[in-house]
Structure formats: C-alpha cells, structure tokens
C-alpha cells in the first residue's frame, strides 16, 4: 500500500514548507490590498450605512471622505470639505463623509462642533472601510462618474496643501464637464 507520509529524514523541511504556505495564505486572506488610483471603488449601494441617505452620484465627481471624531486632522479637513461643498456642488461635486466611530454619539458630538451640509453616513459595520483598506484617517477618495479612483488624499496633506487640493478638485470637475 502506497503511503503519503513523508520519510522521517525529510520531515522538517516538508512540514515547515507546508506550514509556511498555510501561514502566508492566512496572512494574504486576512488583509485586503489597499485601493489605488485607477482602481474601481466598491459600489456604495452594496453597503449598509446609518445616517443620511446616499446622494445621487450619477455623472458626478464624488469625494468619499473616511473620518472619525477621534482623528485630529479631521477637525481641519471637515471645514475645508464644507467649503468645497459650497463652492463646487453646483459644478457636479458630491461629498460623502463616511464616519468610522464606534459610537453614534461621538459622531453626533463632532458634527455639533463641526456642522456640515454634505451627507454624512456611518459605516457602523466597518465593511466599506475594510473593503477599501483605508491607509489612515482621514483619507479622501476622489472618484470619477464611473467609480474609478482619480486621487487619494490623506488628511494631513490636504490640510497642509489646501490650495493645491482645491485646485485638483476643480481640475477634475473641469475635465468631467469637458468629457462627452
């Protein structure tokens, strides 16, 4: 009878190779690859959110901002996003803030201090943020009307280069207007 067991002399190498493979497979399965520029953003309609209803996104440039009340740079980016919303919403920019707080109260308190008029939803199940594998908070993903990622902006950089960020958004909007 043929057996599949390894010979005693070759045991450690084979076993360790198998274990390494299992471990690597586990690590790969545990972490989603981070979304990059040019990738397709997950469809928001596939996720369940608390809070405001999802806005109409068809034909719009969409800025999805991941934030949390405990994130210090969010206190700087939120007023900037509000400013962008007022300035560019008529030109086709939709801002959607996705909150990642564990507590709904924490989000509400933050919004009292930094009120905004663009839609804010709460990703209470952390499904979207895990799918996108956001590198840090806050992070903004600027999407074209087809859901392709045009740019990924990290909060600290947005706050440091406000003018550059606004100019970039404006450029995306102009390109979208020119597109057939």
Partner 1 sequence: MNGQISSRAANSGLPAGRLAKALAFQLALFLGAFAVLLGCSGCVNVRPWERDALADYTMRPDRDPVTGALREHMWFSREASNGGRSVGGGGCGCN
The count of chain residues that interact with partner 1, using the rule CB under 8 A, is 32
Minimum distance from CB of 36 to partner 1 (Å)?
A: 16
Q: In this chain, which stretch among 1-9, 49-57, 161-169, 172-180 interacts with partner 1, using CB under 8 A?
A: 1-9
Please state, in angstroms and as integers, the Cα–Cα distance from residue 147 to each residue in 21, 54, 75, 152, 173, following that order. 35, 15, 27, 13, 14
Other beta carbons less than 10 A from residue 81's beta carbon: 22
Comparing CA positions, the residue from 59, 77, 78 lying closest to residue 147 is 59
- Tallying the residues shown for the chain, one arrives at 180
Minimum distance from CB of 64 to partner 1 (Å)?
A: 14
Instruction: Check: CB of residue 141 under 8 Å from CB of residue 64.
Output: yes
Write the interaction track for partner 1 spanning residues 92-121; mark x where CB under 8 A is met and - where it is not: --------xxx-------------------
Please, which residues bridge with residue 175 across strands?
A: none
Q: Is 37 in the site for partner 1 (CB under 8 A)?
A: no
Listed in sequence order, the residues at least 6 apart from 149 whose beta carbon sits closer than 8 Å to its beta carbon are 35, 36, 37, 38, 39, 40, 41, 141, 142, 143
Q: Is 70 in the site for partner 1 (CB under 8 A)?
A: yes
Q: Is 25 in the site for partner 1 (CB under 8 A)?
A: no
- The interface with partner 1 within residues 120-159 (CB under 8 A) comprises 126, 129-130, 134-137
Q: In this chain, which stretch among 17-25, 57-65, 78-86, 145-153 interacts with partner 1, using CB under 8 A?
A: 17-25
Residue whose token pair is 């360790």: 16
Q: In this chain, which stretch among 9-17, 44-52, 88-96, 163-171 interacts with partner 1, using CB under 8 A?
A: 9-17
Residues that bind partner 1 (CB under 8 A): 1, 3, 5-8, 11-12, 15-16, 19, 22-23, 26-27, 30-31, 66, 68, 70-72, 100-102, 126, 129-130, 134-137
């Amino acid at each position: 009878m043929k057996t599949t067991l390894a010979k005693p002399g070759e045991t450690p190498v084979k076993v360790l190779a198998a274990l390494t493979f299992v471990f690597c497979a586990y690590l790969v399965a545990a972490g989603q690859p981070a979304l990059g520029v040019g990738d397709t953003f997950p469809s928001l309609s596939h996720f369940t959110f608390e809070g405001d209803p999802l806005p109409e996104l068809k034909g719009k440039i969409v800025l999805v901002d991941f934030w949390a009340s405990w994130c210090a740079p969010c206190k700087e980016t939120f007023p900037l996003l509000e400013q962008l919303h007022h300035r560019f919403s008529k030109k086709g920019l939709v801002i959607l803030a996705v909150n990642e707080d564990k507590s709904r109260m924490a989000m509400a308190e933050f919004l009292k201090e930094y009120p905004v008029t663009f839609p804010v939803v709460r990703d209470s199940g952390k499904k979207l943020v895990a799918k996108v594998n956001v590198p840090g908070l806050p992070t903004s993903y600027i999407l074209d009307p087809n859901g392709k990622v045009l740019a990924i902006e990290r909060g600290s950089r947005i706050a440091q280069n406000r003018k550059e960020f606004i100019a970039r958004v404006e450029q995306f909007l102009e390109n979208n207007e020119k597109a057939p």
